Structure 1
């Protein structure tokens, strides 16, 4: 029986496991109960054993959900070992009135299922568990399966791998917290932008003052802040902060129509910036005002505003140093004096991007496997989001090739209402990951089985 047929016979069981896992509201954010996260952990301790994985361990770190590390030894001394990563926690459901069905009741949709966390990242956990099943518990490579329980909120595990590298020793990694550019189009993610935040604030008066009696010469804090924020972009909407790295994008990207649909842009609303969408999304910077403190319109008094602040988020090129990138963002408002008014800038969190090497034996094996899984030529994209753990794993195992692909797709509504996964993507991802192990093992023996 070929690999595709074998995976086909597993789909009913894999789907049932996905439904069982997704029905657990494993939100690891403060304010949510911890018991569902532990329940998801316990399910994922049992499922690898049912797939023929005999060694399953629990890694406990301070202030974070347990990490599951399961292992299958290499079948021969010269066989490579592959690490498979995913996370079992999910985003909060948000405004449940926007969901077409309860977020933690997996519900059929055309070609798939809808539920919170079903794409990000529980479908990819099922992919990892489907692979040893496809090989009857005896894959052609060694396996280390690492399943984390607090990725969405952030945890101590992000920085842990370099402190215990032996636990993660491998020849290649598949990070399955990503997916395809569009359904049916196999996609290898070759870059993740870094992220940084700062807070800009201005205080000009001791307290509000009547806008009729004082408006005009009285220094308006909100007006000064808005004038400063307006300098972040040029007339085209491109980032005007000096120094962030920007390069042409040579991979695949969305069409403008696809992107407008994904973004929910209203009819007639222009997109911001110049250059290709790939350049604006992945290989160039983006500065977003993600929050602003000022009097609300509904409760505004006729008064000069004495205090205002804004939080800025910078996404930057995968290879730019995060501290340097944040420093550039800090320097820009610090150098301004809108109406002669000084601004106070406070740096926040910053995290690196990531750009894996391509062209090695694992990457070549993955491209062959993706073709087999989806029956189409793979595309190369980058990601605008960050996966901080990837950098920790890369530091822990610097010689390992890192591959990013999975069962999600750009239409799956991750982090949004009505998140869904397609059965076709799930099946293709299991085939591709299983085929990758076969191809990579063959490459180590000196030849391909394709």
Structure 2
């Protein structure tokens, strides 16, 4: 059987091609958010099809997803009786506004002095696409198992892929699903993610007046909607910063510890600013709930005038503990918000989305094989880590393939990748190691 050293040696020659493909993808601003140009998203989908075909997936194609952007699908037959492995990634990316503070063009992959490649999507998740390309270049000519590939076009926004997958269970059935949309704590420090917090979201609209009124003539008795909103939102956390919503579950983290210096570097917390919450750092980011106000409709400081606001709308995202029921957690959040009516203000709460939490069955043989593959490539012990993020498709895969093992890994290191933020980047050496680990895993599964 092919070993780690042999795969790394083959990748030494292959990586210039992998990185060239990666660079071409980063140059495409494939933002699937409503209101953005649709053309680059469709261009990106076709670019992924072409890339996979060049890697050996001759039948790679775009599949129409009702009400959403198309997904990319391929199916490479393997030896008779071999397992079916589904490789997943997504081709859409977050926006990259100038006000985020980019120090290089987000749509031009830039290799800087630290050796990392910078650009929007360089890590999340065009690194996953590059991993799959490299894996197919290594294995597609003589696949050790049946390989299916699913690449989504709406992971960063409200996805339409989940109902499509659930409506086509035979197409997406698998024995193992490998989700290349996550990463370790730091480069050259192998980590296997064993739990995901879910993400449920809603909007709250607070209204107090029929129309704006002069803040000097009427302020002091007439209630301002923004002031009422502030009072409601302030009650979502206690003085320590823990999320305190009745009915929302919490937990403790049983695996490896979150490295505090890694977390501090990745989170960009200012010197002297305290952490939120109680419990271990791992508990707070991987096992406990966390609610965030991710948007609010109010006048900006330039346009603000001396008026009381009649109505204010905010969007909240609640990260939920692994093992909790997402629908129940969203209901708890929405019920709590509806009950908050300072000065008898009018409160309307509406659901935005439900993203389910997930915990890996670490006893599965495929998970052990993934751990072994990482250990052999890196020559180090593998950490069982969590993730505060969510990957909505995982719940759908569980529905169409309830016995499938799910491997969560990738190249998006916590310390420096800065996904969703300015100066997002990926380490090319880490990309090579993870591509080797993925190819080795498929080889092990086939054997």
CA distance in structure 1 between the partners assigned to 2:90 and 2:242 by the alignment? 35
The answer to whether the aligner puts 1:83 opposite 2:86 as a matched pair is: yes
The alpha carbon displacement at 1:25 in A equals 2.5
Q: Point out the more displaced range, 216-225 or 268-277.
A: 216-225
1:44 to 45, 48, 52: 48
Are 1:275 and 2:279 counterparts? yes
Consecutive unaligned residues of structure 1, counting only runs of 5 or more, are 443-450
- 2:436 maps to 1:435: no
1:186 offset after TM fit, Å? 1.2
Q: How does 1:125-204 map to 2 (within 5 A)?
A: 125-135=129-139, 137-204=141-208
SS across alignment from 1:408: coil
Match of 2:31 among 27, 33, 38: 27
Residue 8 (structure 2) pairs with residue 8 (structure 1): no
1:37-436 to 2 correspondences below 5 Å? 37-75=41-79, 77-95=80-98, 98-109=101-112, 110-135=114-139, 137-294=141-298, 296-341=300-345, 343-410=347-414, 411-436=416-441
CA distance in 1, matches of 2:433, 2:344: 60
**Deviation sequence 1:189-228 (CA, Å, 0-9, x none):** 1222222223333333334455555444433433333222
TM-score (norm 2): 0.91
Task: Give secondary structure in 1 for the equivalent of 2:124.
Answer: helix
Is the CA contact (8 Å cut-off) linking 2:185 and 2:259 kept in structure 1? no
Question: Residues of 2 paired with 1:192 and 1:390: CA distance?
Answer: 10
Secondary structure class of the residue paired with 2:29: coil
Q: Compared with structure 1, are the counterparts of its residues 238 and 30 closer, same or farther at alpha carbon in structure 2 (3 Å cutoff)? A: closer
Secondary structure class of the residue paired with 1:43: helix
In the alignment, is the contact (CA less than 8 A) between 1:244 and 1:285 conserved in 2? yes
Q: Which moved more, 1:172-181 or 1:54-63?
A: 54-63
The alignment yields a C-alpha RMSD, in angstroms, of 2.3
Are 2:326 and 2:355, in contact at CA under 8 Å, matched by a contact in 1?
yes
Deviations 1:286-318 (A, max 9, x none): 111223344555555555444334332211113
Moved more, 13-22 or 425-434: 13-22
Question: What secondary structure does 1:259 align onto?
Answer: helix
For the 8 Å contact 1:193–1:315, the answer to whether it is kept is yes
Deviation at 1:129, TM superposition (A): 1.8
Q: Distance in 2 between matches of 1:320 and 1:7?
A: 41
Distance 1:241 1:409, change over 3 A: same
**Which structure has the bigger radius of gyration?**
1
Q: Return closer, same or farther for 1:238/1:69 CA change in 2, 3 Å cut-off.
A: same
Q: Could you tell me how far 1:429 is from its partner in structure 2? A: 0.6
Query: How many pairs were matched up?
Result: 441
- Once structures 1 and 2 are overlaid, which stretch shifts more, 227-236 or 22-31? 22-31
Q: Which runs of 5+ in 2 are unaligned?
A: none
Greater mean alpha carbon deviation, residues 360-369 or residues 247-256: 247-256
Say if 1:138 and 1:246 are closer, same or farther in 2 by CA, change over 3 A. Answer: same
SS in 1 for 2:235: helix
- Mapped contact 1:203–1:307 kept (Cα < 8 A): yes
Change (3 A) 1:161 1:256: same
Pick closer, same or farther for the CA change 1:218–1:407 going to 2, 3 Å: closer
- Indicate if the aligned counterparts of 2:57 and 2:140 stay in contact, CA closer than 8 A: no
